[in-house]
Amino acid sequence: MSVASATATSPGAVAVVGAGVIGRSWIRVFTRAGFPTRVYDPDAEQLGRAVAWAGASAREDVHLGLCSYSEARAAEGRITSCTTLEEALDGVDYVQESGPEAVATKQSIYRELDAAAAPGVVLGSSTSANDMTVIAQGLAGAARCIVAHPVNPPHVIPLVEVLAGAETSPGVTASTLRLLRRAGMAPVLLDRFAPGFVLNRLQAALLREAISLVGTGVASPQVVDVVMREGLGLRWALVGPFGTGHVNADGGVGSYFRMYGDAYRSVWKDLDSAPNFGEDVIDAIARGMTATYGEDAVTDLSAWRDRMVRRIMQLKVEDPPPGAD
């Protein structure tokens, strides 16, 4: 992926508020796409680490051939560390909030943001769990508040789930989608709130069955992962679950579901809704991962995953699916 795309007009400034693992990754997202990025975290040490990480991530992208040295330097140059929230919000069009997940904390952060941000500044939240209707309840600026939930880590995985609250204005939704696209992300608009949104509900549904298969002795954790890696996941990474059905029947997904609907219904009846998820099963899964990847492999595995995701995305850019606009 060419991470920095030059555009005719420079994008306006954004603020990244909260500079943990998700916030720091957003710094890289915005700066590589040309956005002047003002960063604030109440923890000055965390702020310093995040800014340093964003610089290191830019240099790593040079190493991976994802951008040039001068692009990496330019991206680093777009970061402004701020010591107060007010300073971070100065002159920005958009805020990406990535603070702690507890709803009371989110409400408190949003009260501060809404009080401090100039009118018209959009307040996007990285929340993975909360409904913007609840976070922004009672705020004067509820219309400019919106969920923009990324996948960890956003500088690698492009998807963002965008979800309006009850009071969010349609214009804010449209401008958030536009800004995220300009930042190189793949935002999707959800139509209503459900706990876990779409991504974590799909993940939870699959993990529940995966955990059950291990706990009931059908297969080892390693085998479950290989079934995904060398089987299902290869299809889903390209065409998604419905697209997989679409490809697997001559008449498309409608024919597919009419053909296999009863088979699915029959398996659904057999799925476990409350699997054993105790320490014994968790330990078995952890041992399986250590057996596959070795001890202390998380950092190396994470780096491998990140560079491979980028290569897969590059393949899709070079050879897009039929019908893609």
Residue list 99-158, contact with its own copies (CB under 8 A): 129, 151-152, 157-158
Alpha-carbon gap, residue 295 to 35, rounded angstroms: 39
| Shortest reach from residue 287's CB to its own copies, in Å | 9
Alpha-carbon gap, residue 278 to 36, rounded angstroms: 47
By CB under 8 A, name the one of 198, 215, 280, 317 that touches its own copies.
198
| Shortest reach from residue 101's CB to its own copies, in Å | 9
| Shortest reach from residue 19's CB to its own copies, in Å | 17
Across the strands, what pairs with 37?
14, 79
- Binding to its own copies by residue 203, rule CB under 8 A? yes
- Binding to its own copies by residue 194, rule CB under 8 A? yes
Beta strands in the chain (DSSP E): 13-17, 37-40, 79-81, 92-97, 122-125, 145-150, 159-164, 186-189
- Binding to its own copies by residue 201, rule CB under 8 A? yes
- Binding to its own copies by residue 180, rule CB under 8 A? no
Q: Which residue's CB is nearer to its own copies, number 93 or number 209?
A: 209
- Binding to its own copies by residue 209, rule CB under 8 A? yes
By CB under 8 A, name the one of 205, 259, 276, 280 that touches its own copies.
205
- Binding to its own copies by residue 192, rule CB under 8 A? yes
By CB under 8 A, name the one of 102, 134, 140, 271 that touches its own copies.
271
Please work out, in degrees rounded to the nearest 5, the angle formed at the alpha carbon of residue 234 by the alpha carbons of 228 and 235: 105
Contact 17, 88 (CB under 8 A): yes
Answer left, alpha or beta for residue 126, where phi above 0 means left and psi between -120 and 50 means alpha: alpha
What is the end-to-end Cα distance of the chain in Å, rounded?
17
- Binding to its own copies by residue 265, rule CB under 8 A? yes
* Count of chain residues binding its own copies (CB under 8 A): 113
Which single residue is written with the structure tokens 């306006």? 12
- Binding to its own copies by residue 175, rule CB under 8 A? no
Q: How many residues does the chain have?
A: 325
- Binding to its own copies by residue 62, rule CB under 8 A? no
- Binding to its own copies by residue 263, rule CB under 8 A? yes
- Binding to its own copies by residue 258, rule CB under 8 A? yes
- Binding to its own copies by residue 308, rule CB under 8 A? yes
- Binding to its own copies by residue 174, rule CB under 8 A? no
Coil, strand or helix: which one is 186?
A: strand
Alpha-carbon gap, residue 173 to 12, rounded angstroms: 17
What's the token pair of residue 299?
Answer: 């950092």
By CB under 8 A, name the one of 91, 120, 138, 294 that touches its own copies.
294
Q: Which residue's CB is nearer to its own copies, number 118 or number 237?
A: 237
Alpha-carbon gap, residue 52 to 34, rounded angstroms: 18
Residue type, 67: C
- Binding to its own copies by residue 64, rule CB under 8 A? no
| Shortest reach from residue 50's CB to its own copies, in Å | 16
Alpha-carbon gap, residue 299 to 166, rounded angstroms: 40
- Calculate the CA dihedral of residues 72, 78, 82, 85 and round it to 10 degrees: -120
Q: Which residue's CB is nearer to its own copies, number 74 or number 238?
A: 238
Residues 66-105 that bind its own copies (CB under 8 A): none
